[in-house]
Amino acid sequence: MDENTAGAKGRKTPSRKEAEEARKRAMKQPMTRKEQMKREREARAQIRERQQAALKTGDEKYLPLRDRGRVRKFTRDYIDRRFTVAEYLLPILVVSFVVTTIPAVAGFGLFLWLVVTLMTVVDEVLLIRRLKKELKRRFPDESAKGITLYVLLRSTQLRRFRLPKPQIARGAPLPERY
């Protein structure tokens, strides 16, 4: 067998000259604007497909920029492992709104709305304070910039609709290393 032929690959390794020519051909500007737009559209579609798959599997390499990094992964796990009042806020407020349209129990609907809103605010403040304290302990050298909004957005979504998908079960202990 020739030294340039690999058994598993089934073809010769291209010479440097051939590889450079192939790369230049691939990078060569398309003849028409239509071809260029087609190439760009295909490239964007491939990136989008990889990101969608990563959002389901949690593959760090292809996640969107806002979800990448050890701090963001820890934050997702920290939120996903606990129950939050905020994730049920919208369904409860819809029920509260419907109840307020019934004159006999309108007061109860307003009371329910007030209690749930207050519980949500308190729960979110406590969640953010505890998370920031834990982030300082675990990642003292890394920035936690933008984490508050990230926590608010993630914790107010129903668990099954969160993207990236939760990778940790409710109540499960957090890993020590990220």
Q: 42-92, pLDDT tens digit by residue?
A: 999 999 999 999 999 988 889 988 999 999 999 999 999 999 999 999 999
Residue 129 forms part of a structural domain: yes
Q: Which residue has the tokens 């490239």?
A: 43
Confidence check: pLDDT of 161 > 90: yes
23 lies in the same domain as 82:
no
70 lies in the same domain as 153:
yes
90 lies in the same domain as 130:
yes
Task: Mean pLDDT check: name the lowest of 9-18, 23-32, 94-103, 135-144.
Answer: 23-32
Indicate the number of domains in the chain. Answer: 2
Residue 35 forms part of a structural domain: yes
- pLDDT for 29: 67
- pLDDT for 58: 86
Residue 23 forms part of a structural domain: yes
Domain boundaries, position 74: 65-161
Q: Identify which of 61, 70, 78, 77 has the alpha carbon closest to the alpha carbon of residue 141.
A: 70
77 lies in the same domain as 46:
no
Answer whether 0.85 is exceeded by the pTM.
no
Over the stretch 134-149, which tens digit does the pLDDT of each residue have? 999 999 999 999 999 9
Residue 171 forms part of a structural domain: no
CA 45 – CA 177 distance, rounded (Å): 34
91 lies in the same domain as 44:
no
154 lies in the same domain as 87:
yes
105 lies in the same domain as 149:
yes
Q: Identify which of 88, 91, 86 has the alpha carbon closest to the alpha carbon of residue 153.
A: 86
109 lies in the same domain as 138:
yes
Residue 85 forms part of a structural domain: yes
SS (H, E, C) the chain: CCCCECCCCCCECCCHHHHHHHHHHHHCCCCCHHHHHHHHHHHHHHHHHHHHHHHHHCCHHHCCHHHCCHHHHHHHHHHHCCCCCHHHHHHHHHHHHHHHCCHHHHHHHHHHHHHHHHHHHHHHHHHHHHHHHHHHHHCCCCCCCCHHHHHHHHHCCCHHHCCCCCCCCCCCCCCCCC
147 lies in the same domain as 75:
yes
Confidence check: pLDDT of 4 > 70: no
Cα angle 74, 47, 76; round to 5? 10
- pLDDT for 6: 53
Residue 50 forms part of a structural domain: yes
Residue 40 forms part of a structural domain: yes
Residue 1 forms part of a structural domain: no
